[in-house]
Amino acid sequence: MSDYFGAVTLDAAKKQLRVDYADEDELIVTYIMAATAQCEQICGREIVKRSDENALCDSVDDVPEAVRTWVLLTVTDLYEHRGASESPIATGRRFYDHLLDGYRIF
C-alpha cells in the first residue's frame, strides 16, 4: 500500500465502523480512497500531499479533524449503504458537508 493517499488510516475507519476483523479491509480501503478523492474534488486540492503544492498537509497524521471527520462519515455512509441504488450521498448535500467549507479553494 505504498501509494496509499487516504485522508484517514484503515485503523481509524475500522474503529468508526466498529469492525474488528480483517475480512473487509480491502473494501474499507476502497471506501477511504473514494471518500478522499471526493473530498479532494470538493476542496480543489490534495488532502495528503503527493504532487499538489496547495495540498492541505504532508501526512495522514496531519489531516485536520474536520476533514478527517468528513472522510470518516462518508466512509460510514458508503459502508452502511453499499448495494443501495440511492443513498444519502446521492441525494444532495449532507449536514456534515459544511465541515469542509474552511478547506476549499475557490
pLDDT (tens digit per residue) in 6-63: 999 999 999 999 999 999 999 999 999 999 999 999 999 999 999 999 999 999 999 9
CA 92 from centre of chain: 17
Work out the end-to-end distance of the chain between its first and last CA atoms, rounded to an integer number of angstroms: 31
The C-alpha cell of 3 is what? 501509494
Q: Which pLDDT belongs to residue 89?
A: 54
Question: Mind listing the domains of the chain with CATH numbers?
Answer: 10-103 (1.10.3230.30)
Average pLDDT over residues 53-80: 95
Cross-strand pairs, 57: 48
CA distance 53 to 69: 23
